[in-house]
Amino acid sequence: MDSTAPSTMPRGAPIPNTRDHDNKGRDTTVLEIRNLSTEFVTKRGAFRAVDDVSLELHAGKTLCVVGESGSGKSVMSRSILQIVDPPGRVAAGQVLLHRHRTARDAGIEDTVDLLQLSPTSKAIRNLRGRDIAMIFQEPMSSLSPVHRIGDQVGEAIRLHERVSKKEMRERTLELLRKVEIPNPGKAIDQFPFEFSGGMRQRAMIAMALACNPTVLIADEPTTALDVTIQAEILDLIRSIQDESDMAVLFITHDMGVVAEIADEIAVMRYGKVVETGDVYDIFEAPQHPYTQRLLNSVKELDQPSERRLAMRQARPVGAPCLVSDGVTKVFGAGKNWRGREARGLLAVDRADLELRKGENLGIVGESGSGKTTLGRCLQRVYDVTAGHVLYTAEDGRELDLAPMTENQLAGPWRDIRTVFQDPFSSLNPRMTIGQIIAEPLVVAGKLTAPEIRDRVFELLELVGLPDTAYMRYPHAFSGGQRQRVSIARAIAPNPRIIIADEATSALDVSLRTQILDLLLDLQERLDLSFILISHDIAVIRYFCDRIAVMYRGRIVEAGDTEEVCRNPAHDYTRSLLSAVPVADPRMRGQKQRVRYTETT
């Protein structure tokens, strides 16, 4: 293919306009995906990640593509601009960009089939960024760390238009103002590392908007951000869209976000679109069983688990068994090698907390709030800088874990166990599932080898895994299954307390309830108490009796979960709760957003 032809020339064979349906007198379809298939060629043959997908994007509207991991939604969005990573390749289909239907090029019939262009040609490079712009998930790695923000945003303009440096700077300033970056005059000369995650994502959006694109593809743009920042970014994308009549293709796995921003929805599963339609219709009456299940698991989450409430009726919560008394953790303090005093980072500041026997305590907070550090301090994985961790052992003795050495902790560590967040790094890839689960039993040395073996099979049964898992290695398991293995390891030495640190965050929504139900099930059978650390209010609401809200290392509010969620006392809790997207499009715009600014 000739790569030097000007981009405005229609490429490939002329495409007949077959579907000219009128929409308010004018067809507003700007991007049409027809029968798109993308394949990954592996040694086991071609695998269709995207299978015969047809979608339409309308000017000024947002199309949300929802799906769980592996549904092919990201690959689909990357196929549009032909930036699929090898060995993936677009196998069939058309992606038609109707440039004449946009405000800029109104009038002259001008339709381009993007898939006819060579992925390295000048023609497609001219389209990328100018007509179709893209925002990615990870704001930390999408910006070049060695260039100033202004230069990176400006480059997007200079690539497509001939402008002077001065003009470029002015337009960049305007863009930064548009994406609500405070003090753009200063920000333009700053480097990405001086920006927070949310600010970087704003800068990314500014880059994407540099040439007033017709279509914006946003691939999970808010997944890596905290809820409060996510809410702001969603607002921003909406308001920009209102101004510019831009079509947005929004990829997400979060039904709450969908309800917040979508006009239309396409649900993807196993590379196929199973259902498309208007956002209200789909939330109201989903047709496909998969969509129904997806929505159900979302709705199920945002309310207390009935199972848990019933269990509490039968077995009331007992006395406190793990108490954090003024726990403080400072990282990197002390003298450095030259004997100078280092100030360190105060990660947890005088946290007072108590876990009662047989209850589930949730710790919620945004990234960097110190919730994980607190969890690790309670278990004494980390040394505690100040304060006490009081653990009441089975025989009624009260131990202070804070000053103990690693050898003394061996006993308490059998009673207090952990389920880790990341199901991939928490299991040793070089050991079989049987070895992993048996490890605490082997180390304790109380059982003989055949007894341990039987116990492991019993544990596999408890967490719902087949016996055949015993000889397998972790790489043969999916994320949800690995998390079950992790749970089996945690309950192996008959513990009393389990600290689950974001145990469900890496999993799909439908898997989350499964895992949480499994934990509740185990609680009933084994008489456990849980501390669940999470950034996700819905998960906490479902699983926890009481909740502690952390902000910048301090517990700002603690109390009964429903009580705190309905009537938050602290301003930060209020802002956190107001930012959580509700999976109901009718609630859109009704909720008052509260921004929390610390007054010190």
Partner 1 sequence: MTSKIYSDPDVTMVEPGKLGAAAHPDPRTATANDDPRALGQAPEDFASQWKLIWISFRKHKLAMTGLIIVVLFYLIGAFAEFLAPFDPNASSAPDIYHPPQMIHFIDRAPDGGWSINPHVNFLTAERDPFTLATTFTEDPDRKIYLDFFGKGDPYRLWGLIPMERRLLTTENPDEMFFLFGADRLGRDMLSRTIYGTRISMSIGLIGVSLSLVLGLILGGISGYFGGRTDMFIQRVVELVISLPTIPIWLGLSAALPQDWSPLTRYFAITVILSLVAWTELARVVRGKFLTLRTEDFVTAARLDGCSRGRVIFRHMMPSMVSHIIASVTLAIPVMIIAETSLSFLGLGLTPPIISWGVLLKEAQNIRSIAQAPWLFVPGAAVCLAVLALNFLGDGLRDAADPYVQDND
Binders of partner 1 in range 172-231 (CB under 8 A): 220, 223-224
DSSP 474-511: GGGS-HHHHHHHHHHHHHTT--SEEEEESTTTTS-HHH
Nearer to partner 1, 191 or 473 (CB): 473
Question: Biggest alpha carbon distance in the chain?
Answer: 84
Nearer to partner 1, 154 or 221 (CB): 221
Residue 518 DSSP label: H
Question: Which residues inside 541-600 make contact with partner 1, applying CB under 8 A?
Answer: none
The label of the residue with tokens 């003394």 reads: 408
Q: Rounded distance, CA 349 to CA 329, Å?
A: 7
Contact residue for partner 1 among 110, 180, 235, 422 (CB under 8 A)? 422
Nearer to partner 1, 508 or 545 (CB): 508
What does the chain come to in residues?
600
Q: Interface mask (CB under 8 A) for partner 1, residues 13-52, using x and -? A: ---------------------------xxxxx--x-x---
Q: Is 286 left (phi over 0), alpha (psi -120 to 50) or beta?
A: beta
CB 194 within 8 A of CB 226: no
Least gap, CB of 444 to partner 1 (angstroms) = 6
Give the number of other CB atoms < 10 A from CB of residue 227: 20
Nearest approach, Cβ of residue 121 and partner 1 (Å): 23
Nearest residue to 412 via CA among 400, 428, 426: 400
Strand residues in 357-385 grouped as ranges (E): 360-364
Site string for partner 1, 255-274 (x = CB under 8 A): ---------------x----
Parallel, antiparallel, or unpaired for β 132-135 and 386-392?
A: unpaired
How many C-beta atoms lie closer than 10 Å to residue 26's C-beta?
9
Min separation Cβ 466 and partner 1, Å? 5
Residues 373-412 that bind partner 1 (CB under 8 A): 379, 381, 406, 410
Using the rule CB under 8 A, which residue among 73, 99, 128, 357 binds partner 1? 73
Tokens linked to 42: 């592996």
**Binding to partner 1, residues 280-339 (CB under 8 A):** 337
Q: Under rule CB under 8 A, which residues in 495-524 are in contact with partner 1?
A: 505-506, 508, 510-511, 514
Q: Which of residues 122-161 bind partner 1 (CB under 8 A)?
A: 137-138
Q: Which is nearer to partner 1, 385 or 421 (CB)?
A: 421
| Piece of 55-63, 158-166, 171-179, 426-434 that binds partner 1 (CB under 8 A) | 426-434
Measured in Å, how far apart are the chain's first and last C-alpha atoms?
63
Min CB(286)–partner 1 separation in Å: 16
Shortest distance, position 385 Cβ to partner 1, whole Å = 17
Sites for partner 1 among residues 78-97 (CB under 8 A) = 78, 84-88
- What is the strand order of the sheet 546-551 is part of? 416-419, 497-501, 529-534, 360-364, 546-551, 554-560
3-state SS, residue 245 = coil
Of 47 and 596, CB closest to partner 1: 47
Number of residues that bind partner 1 (CB under 8 A): 76
CB of 590 to partner 1, least distance (A): 29
